[in-house]
Amino acid sequence: MMAEYSALSLLANALKGNKDWKPAWRKPDPKASYDVIIIGGGGHGLSTAYYLAKEHGITNVAVLEKGWLGSGNVGRNTTAVRSNYLLPANTRFYEHSMKLWENLSHDLNYNVMFSQRGCLNLAHTPAQFDDYARRGNAMRHLGVDAELMTTAQIKRLIPALDVSDSARFPVVGGLMQRRAGTARHDAVAWGYARGADRRGVDIIENCEVTGFLRDGDRITGVTTSRGDIRAKKVAVSVAGSTGRVMRLAGIETMPIESHVLQAFVTESLKPFIDTVVTFGMGHFYLSQSDKGGLVYGGDIDGYNSYAQRGNLPVVDEVMSEMLALFPGLARVRMLRSWGGVCDMSMDGSPIITTGPLPGMYLNCGWCYGGFKATPASGWCFAWTIAKDEPHDLNASFTLDRFHRGLVIDDKGQGATPRLH
Amino acid sequence: MKILTCPMNGPRNIDEFQSFGPVRAEPDPDRTADADWSRHLFRAENRKGIVVEWWRHVPSNYFFLAERDLVTNEVLRTFDASERWAHP
């Protein structure tokens, strides 16, 4: 089969005036029933649909999205992709994601602009540097690339970074993952959507789930703003709205709180930095998009919120952190800022599981790190839905781990969602 | 949310405050079942709407309550905890 997008198809369509391109996905009306319904047309829902069709041959699938495709957090993140975790459950899962990322453009026949430009965590104290050595060793032990960098090496890599002794928090070294990087987030949503659509999945936009159809305890479908739809299996993939959707199914509490995370982009600059860099004395990360804008962000706002916009103290803090690292950016103008609502889980790790009700499957709790997980999340969730049991890679990401003392707390913060 | 009115210190910059999350009833740890205790520790109602929360005015280390709409970030009122629980 000739790839739908290729140099040849580009040329052929150019010669014909670009009139013959097919829409990347259809706009079907919902059918009365499906084998699987996925609630949520974000990155994770779409990748779940794609892998259900591709890996498990399940194509009688609907993805229900209450807004338009890609309107939620898949289009609101800062696009970083990395697998530099400490705990084995997280490292293995995110490394699987990294491997899927490395072949994603080819797999989808859609350029997701995955750029392995590296991700550098800066250390500002000898103790922090030791801690990074420990994490780097834990990563290498599981076959993930990691290397410690000296201040002199960092200065050569990022000339604009203030590594002087007079910096507010002098840099003493860093932990680099070279295979980490960035990807074009909208292309990820569109690429998965087209891949799923071409395999027969119905992507239904502007279709809000308003309740669940039940037969006793069992979930047998959903009620929506476009009518009732029945399904053998209903998968919930609505990070940011998990509590609200689960309440529709009668589940009143979840190990999740909703918080808002802000992100920022500056006007376009000439090539300035060719890696992702994170600050170690606060919460700050920065990279440069292919368009030239600096894309950066910091911590969540510090209180529970369902508002898709942020507060001023965090803006102030993020700018201060940026200038502590890059004093030369003081006069660069910020172009836009925005916010997204995150599922902050009780241990900072996600949930991909069967249940909690019969006929239901749950994917949530991504905190503010869900974008890099998009391929593995969908891959594992599709496996869990198809086989009614988790894959080894997501077997630890259960809903009942909190009650059983099996939390996966990479930062060691305890059960306080806003601190993860 | 740029200014929060502290019941003790009056209107102050939001920078001076720290959120401690929605008020939750704590079960008696000596009498409650393990399952209920872990539910208390690890589960949240996470309501989308108006909630009553703990806040602290950091410079004076004063804890108080605020009623806030989590969708609009509008603070409806702030009040001393004694309004909700009488001092023993």
pLDDT digits (tens, 9 = 90+) for A114-141: 999 999 999 999 999 999 999 999 999 9
Do A341 and A193 reside in the same domain of the chain? Answer: no
Within 8 A of A346 by CB-CB distance, chain B residues are 42, 44
Q: What is the mean pLDDT of residues A396-400?
A: 95
pLDDT tens digits for A309-347?
888 999 999 999 999 999 999 999 999 999 999 999 999
Q: What is the CA radius of gyration of chain A?
A: 22
Last residue of a domain, one of A345, A374, A403: A345
Q: What is the mean pLDDT of residues A183-200?
A: 96
Is B46 close to A303, i.e. CB distance below 8 A? no
In a domain, A369, yes or no: yes
Average model confidence (pLDDT) for chain A? Answer: 95
Is B21 close to A306, i.e. CB distance below 8 A? no
Do A234 and A377 reside in the same domain of the chain? Answer: yes
Output the pLDDT for position B22.
92
Q: Give which of A178, A122, A181, A118 is closest to A151, Cα–Cα.
A: A122
Output the pLDDT for position A1.
46
A342–B contact, CB cutoff 8 A: no
Last residue of a domain, one of A318, A345, A372: A345
Do A46 and A92 reside in the same domain of the chain? Answer: yes
Percent of chain A with pLDDT over 90: 92
Full residue range of the structural domain in which residue B10 is found: 3-25+36-83
Beta bridge partners of B52: B67
In a domain, B88, yes or no: no
Amino acid at A38: I
pLDDT tens digits for A225-240?
999 999 999 999 999 9
Prediction pTM value: 0.94
Query: Rounded CA gap, A183 and A192, in Å?
Result: 14
Output the pLDDT for position A308.
83
By Cβ distance, the residue of A304, A312, A403 closest to B42 is A403
pLDDT tens digits for A46-73?
999 999 999 999 999 999 999 999 889 9
CATH value at residue A268: 3.30.9.10
Beta bridge partners of A98: none
Q: What is the mean pLDDT of residues B30-49?
A: 92
Output the pLDDT for position A374.
97
For the sheet with B75-79, list strands across it.
B17-22, B50-57, B62-69, B75-79
Could you tell me if A81 and A371 are in contact, meaning their C-beta atoms sit under 8 angstroms apart? Answer: yes
CATH value at residue A77: 3.50.50.60
Do A218 and A248 reside in the same domain of the chain? Answer: yes
DSSP symbol at B84: T
Amino acid at A220: T
Q: What chain B residue is nearest to A256 in terms of C-alpha separation?
A: B44
Output the pLDDT for position B88.
52
Query: Rounded CA gap, A132 and A121, in Å?
Result: 8
In a domain, A317, yes or no: yes
B25–A contact, CB cutoff 8 A: no
In a domain, A283, yes or no: yes
pLDDT tens digits for A250-296?
999 999 999 999 999 999 999 999 999 999 999 999 999 999 999 99
| A220: pLDDT strictly greater than 70 | yes
Per residue, the 3-state secondary structure of A361-380, as one string, reads: EEEECCCCCHHHHHHHHHHH
Percent of chain B with pLDDT over 70: 98
Backbone φ and ψ of A195, nearest 5°: -60, -40
| A400: pLDDT strictly greater than 50 | yes
In a domain, A3, yes or no: no
Q: Which of A14-23, A94-103, A121-130, A141-150 has the lowest mean pLDDT?
A: A14-23
Amino acid at A404: R
Last residue of a domain, one of A345, A379, A407: A345
Shortest alpha-carbon distance between residue A310 and chain B (Å) = 9
Do A58 and A203 reside in the same domain of the chain? Answer: yes
Cα angle B40, B41, B44; round to 5? 70
Output the pLDDT for position B18.
94
Do A261 and A341 reside in the same domain of the chain? Answer: yes
Q: What chain A residue is nearest to B54 in terms of C-alpha separation?
A: A303
Q: What is the mean pLDDT of residues A400-420?
A: 88
In a domain, B30, yes or no: no
In a domain, B68, yes or no: yes
Specify the higher pLDDT residue, B83 or A158. A158
Place of tokens 């293995």: A92
In a domain, A19, yes or no: no
Output the pLDDT for position A3.
77
Do A132 and A210 reside in the same domain of the chain? Answer: no
By Cβ distance, the residue of B1, B22, B39 closest to A311 is B1
**What pLDDT band is residue B26 in, cutting at 50, 70 and 90?**
confident
Q: What is the mean pLDDT of residues A182-203?
A: 96
Do A308 and A354 reside in the same domain of the chain? Answer: no
In a domain, B53, yes or no: yes
From residue A158, give the alpha-carbon distance in Å to each of A48, A80, A165, A171, A318: 37, 18, 16, 12, 19
B23–A contact, CB cutoff 8 A: no
Q: What is the mean pLDDT of residues A32-40?
A: 97
| A107: pLDDT strictly greater than 50 | yes
B48–A contact, CB cutoff 8 A: yes
Domain count for chain A, please give it.
2
Peptide bond into A313 cis (omega under 30): no
Percent of chain A with pLDDT over 70: 100
Could you tell me if A94 and A139 are in contact, meaning their C-beta atoms sit under 8 angstroms apart? Answer: no
Do A369 and A299 reside in the same domain of the chain? Answer: no
In a domain, B62, yes or no: yes
Do A353 and A333 reside in the same domain of the chain? Answer: no
Within 8 A of B38 by CB-CB distance, chain A residues are 402-403
Within 10 A of A130 (CB to CB), how many other CB atoms are there? 12
Full residue range of the structural domain in which residue A146 is found: 119-181+257-345
Output the pLDDT for position B25.
86
Within 10 A of B23 (CB to CB), how many other CB atoms are there? 15
| A381: pLDDT strictly greater than 90 | yes
Question: What ipTM goes with this model?
Answer: 0.91
Domain count for chain B, please give it.
1
**E-state strands within A205-292:** 209-215, 218-224, 227-236, 256-268, 276-279, 284-288
- A84-115 exposure pattern, b = at least 16 Cβ within 10 A, e = fewer: bbbbebbbbbbbbbbebbbebbebbbbebbbb
In a domain, A12, yes or no: no
Output the pLDDT for position A2.
56
Is B42 close to A303, i.e. CB distance below 8 A? no
| A35: pLDDT strictly greater than 60 | yes
Do A177 and A268 reside in the same domain of the chain? Answer: yes
Query: Rounded CA gap, A11 and A269, in Å?
Result: 32
